Amino acid sequence: MKSKRRLQLTTEIDVGAFSDIAFLLIIFFILTTSIIRISGQQLDLPTGEQSKEKQKENTLTIYINGARIHYGEADNAPVVSLLELRTRLLEADLKNKLDSKERMVILDSTKDVVYDLYFQVVSTISNAGGILALVEEDVKGSGEEKGQHDSAS
Amino acid sequence: MIRRRKRKPPVIPIASMGDIAFLLIIFFMLTSNFMKNRSIELEEPTSADIQEVKKTQVSVTVDRDCVLRLQGEVCDLEMLEGGVNALTKDADDKRVQLKIDKNLTKEEYIGVFLALSRANAKIVLVGQPEAE
């Protein structure tokens, strides 16, 4: 009499494909990972506040009116292109000036100046070694404009 | 009678390949940084005077809808100075990355500059290099 052997059903999970899946995932991550590179310009801003009148004494001022860049503090100052601005700032040799007051550049602009142009001017000034002083309008309407000094240089 | 030796084919044990693969996956998952700012819609300005800078710990963004975000979270302009102060207070690196949509006007972004300057942060303006 044949002894009947119970067929034991094995409960094995076939793990042969796991390594294939793992390698596919690795390839996926390698192909989709992108190395983020940030490009920018660190601003050099002085500390403290001063009135604009005091600041303007012998200080280079750049005024942006809409899409026009004026090399000077008012609308009647000469209009320059970005390239001309870069050239003039390099000629001013701001990087080699020892006194930080001589490196200061006041940037004033109208309210409708788009950030793209503002960014380009700010980058040009910072790249030329200038210390940027931003002009803040007095919100309370006293009529006095304050030159804002910002973070430590 | 000639007996032929059965040639056993060379066997390369590949049992550990699965382990190596999973270790590599775990390595990539731990070292990759998810791009948190992907959902923020803004166009970066361009300039020829910028260069590659190191990533900062603190980031401030103003998107095309003029929504201000500090570290990816929406924030008020009044809270920005305090928030940046808190983040940079004990940090060695006081640089703050500032990304603003290129189409915003001065009255929309100048407040951010002033708030960051009052927080004594070193502002790093982020943009794209101009295509040559």
Pick A114 or B13 by higher pLDDT. A114
In Å, how far are A38, A149, B40, B80, B100 from B74, measured between CA atoms?
Answer: 22, 27, 11, 10, 14
3-state DSSP helix/strand/coil percent for chain A, to nearest 5?
Answer: 30, 25, 50
8 A C-beta contact, residue A42 and residue A129? no
Q: What is the mean pLDDT of residues A105-130?
A: 90
**Between chains, do A150 and B25 touch, taking CB under 8 Å as contact?**
no
Classify the complex by whether its ipTM is higher than 0.90, answering yes or no: no
Q: Which residues of B touch A115 (CB under 8 A)?
A: 45, 100-106, 109
Q: Burial code of A104-121, b = ≥16 C-beta within 10 A, e = fewer?
A: bbbbbbeeebbbbbbbbb
Whether B38 and chain A come into contact, CB under 8 Å, resolves to: no
Average pLDDT over residues B58-74: 90
Residue A95 has pLDDT above 90, yes or no: no
Q: Is B87:B115 a contact under the CB 8 Å cutoff?
A: no
Whether the pLDDT of residue A50 is over 70: the answer is no
| B91-112: pLDDT as tens digits | 888 889 999 999 999 888 989 9
pTM of the model: 0.71
| Token couple for A36 | 């983020």
Cβ atoms of residues A115 and B47 within 8 Å: no
Of all residues in chain A, what percent carry a pLDDT higher than 70?
68
pLDDT confidence bin for A54, thresholds 50/70/90: low
Handedness of CA A64, A128, B84, B64 (dihedral sign): positive
Average pLDDT, chain A: 76
Six-digit token pair at A131?
């210390």
Q: Give B74-77's long-range contacts (Cβ < 8 A, gap of 24+).
A: B77/B111, B77/B112, B77/B115
A65-93: average pLDDT: 88
Q: Looking at the complex, does the CB of residue B39 fall below 8 Å from at least one CB of chain A? A: no
Gap between the Cα atoms of B6 and A63, Å rounded: 91
Looking at every residue in chain B, the average pLDDT score rounds to 83
Q: How many CB pairs under 8 A join A and B?
A: 147
Interchain CB contact of A40 with B (< 8 Å): yes
Residues 43-82 of A with CB under 8 A from B: 43, 45, 47
Q: By C-alpha distance, which of B60, B15, B106, B43 is closest to A136?
A: B106
Confidence check: pLDDT of A78 > 60: yes
Q: Which residues pair with B51 in a beta bridge?
A: A40
Question: Does A149 reach chain B within 8 Å, measured CB to CB?
Answer: yes
Q: Classify residue A87 by burial, with Cβ atoms within 10 Å: 0-12, 13-18, 19+.
A: middle
Q: Is B14 on the interface with A (CB under 8 A)?
A: yes
Q: Which residues contact B75 (CB under 8 A, 6 or more apart)?
A: B68, B69, B83
Q: Is A127 strand, coil or helix?
A: helix
